[in-house]
Amino acid sequence: MSKFSVSLEVDKPIQHCWDILMDESRMAEWAIGFQSIETIEGEPMTVGSKHRLVFEERGKELVFIETVKVIDPPREFTFDLDHEVMNSTVSMTIESVGAERTLLSSHTEGRPTKLLLKIIMPFMVPQMKRRQFQQLENLKAIMEAS
């Protein structure tokens, strides 16, 4: 198991940041490789709902099943993300640090399911952390531009 967190500040109020984070129609603008999302169980974006997320990575399609664990507007969105080689829990938290400033954080706990991935996981974490930070920077740019 590997855990890591990344954070950055956004020059916009908390509700504005939350609204953009939760807008599925804007995911392709900030989530690297994002192709589509489809609700497969429950009401979209409610606790317990499941979604099929499709990403493209190096020309290959990656399919994840997301299960929403916590939605606490405008502070927290936590979900499990399951794939055949790794399961993760991701918690996106938002905290007001001033009237017009917000701290945006992503906390990830990865649990590899394959032996080889368990062995090399410690070497993958820095790359995963950089990718997550890049996604937060993409999200920040969208939040601050709108």
Residue 93, by phi and psi: left (phi above 0), alpha (psi -120 to 50) or beta? Answer: beta
Q: Which of 18-32, 36-50, 115-129 has the least mean pLDDT?
A: 115-129
Interval 93-117 mean pLDDT: 92
pLDDT single digits (tens) 34-60: 999 999 999 999 999 999 999 999 999
Q: What pLDDT sits at residue 117?
A: 75
Q: What pLDDT sits at residue 120?
A: 80
Q: What pTM was estimated for this model as a whole?
A: 0.92
Domains: count for the chain: 1
The 50-57 sheet, strands edge to edge:
2-10, 101-112, 86-98, 76-82, 60-72, 50-57, 34-41
Q: What pLDDT sits at residue 85?
A: 87
Is residue 115's pLDDT more than 80?
Answer: no
Provide the CATH number for the domain around residue 56: 3.30.530.20
Range of the domain at 86: 2-145
